[in-house]
């Protein structure tokens, strides 16, 4: 992509302090954007703090908190007059198993669905008024098929795809595009969390996370686990004018899995 493809544009990235969100933030900054990265912790991560700070702002935000989401979006618009794009990346994938409890249901749906809804509708309200903008929701390969032992994560990512497709239809008339990026196995801390629960029973034995990742990589046609930067490449393509005639789509970034 061109070095100044996003020059002077304003973007909001949830879950921006680590993993895919961090990689997305770094790429947007490198292409000239102003980026607001939000995450749960009071202070930005060391990795986020190491990025160039001139056009980067960190905001503490729990995406389950509608009032806080409204405050973040409002402050961006008050300062810049607009919001060009939202990357709805914040998500969790805790240990589940075959029959997770109601507390896990509330946790997963609170972040993965309500969080996408909260920040998405706040951003779309602005984009409808300004007659333009982009939303990229982060789904999963499990947005389109079942995955054993993570029923809540899987169904929550189905919901993200449903929101994507409906928002794309409803907001196209305002010049707003909405798409979904569906990562396959990607080496982030979140993806490592359920490895033992999801992949352990499948492969058997007392294997380490790294050993399980190697076994997973062997099932991927391209023969490797994805990097956060690989997913960020697709996110930022959707965010750019290169994708100006694409909306309502899901793209799997999964090495062919």
Active site residue 58: no
Segments of 53-198 assigned E as strands: 56-60, 85-88, 133-138, 176-183
CA distances from residue 154 to 97, 130, 150, 157, 228 in whole angstroms, order as listed: 12, 34, 6, 5, 20
Helix (H/G/I), strand (E/B), else coil: 225 = coil
Closest CA to 134 of 255, 24, 254: 24
Give CA–CA dist 178/176, Å, rounded: 7
Least Cα distance to 138 among 226, 45, 57, 58 occurs for 226
Query: Using CA atoms, how far apart are residues 243 and 156, in angstroms rounded to an integer?
Result: 26
Q: Which of 11, 153, 174, 203 is catalytic?
A: 153
Contact 88, 15 (CB under 8 A): no
Active site residues: 153
């Amino acid at each position: 992509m061109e070095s100044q493809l996003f020059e002077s544009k304003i973007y909001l990235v949830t879950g921006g302090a680590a993993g895919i969100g961090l990689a997305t933030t770094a790429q947007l900054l490198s292409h000239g954007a102003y980026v607001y990265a939000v995450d749960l912790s009071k202070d930005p991560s060391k990795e986020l703090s190491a990025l160039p700070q001139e056009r980067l702002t960190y905001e503490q935000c729990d995406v389950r908190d509608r009032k806080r989401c409204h405050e973040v979006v409002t402050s961006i618009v008050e300062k810049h007059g607009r919001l060009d794009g939202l990357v709805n990346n914040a998500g969790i994938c805790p240990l589940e198993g075959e029959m997770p409890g109601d507390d896990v249901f509330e946790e997963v749906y609170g972040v993965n669905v309500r969080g996408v809804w909260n920040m998405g509708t706040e951003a779309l309200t602005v984009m409808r008024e300004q007659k333009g903008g982009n939303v990229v929701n982060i789904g999963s390969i499990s947005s389109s098929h079942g995955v054993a032992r993570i029923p809540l994560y899987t169904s929550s990512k189905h919901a993200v795809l449903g929101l994507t497709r409906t928002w794309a239809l409803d907001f196209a008339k305002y010049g707003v595009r909405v798409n979904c990026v569906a990562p396959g196995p990607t080496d982030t801390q979140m993806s490592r969390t359920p490895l033992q629960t999801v992949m352990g029973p499948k492969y058997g034995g007392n294997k380490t996370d790294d050993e399980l990742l190697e076994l997973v990589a062997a099932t991927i046609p391209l023969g490797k686990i994805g990097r956060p930067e690989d997913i960020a490449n697709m996110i930022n393509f959707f965010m750019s004018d290169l994708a100006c005639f694409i909306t309502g789509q899901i793209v799997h970034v999964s090495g062919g899995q």
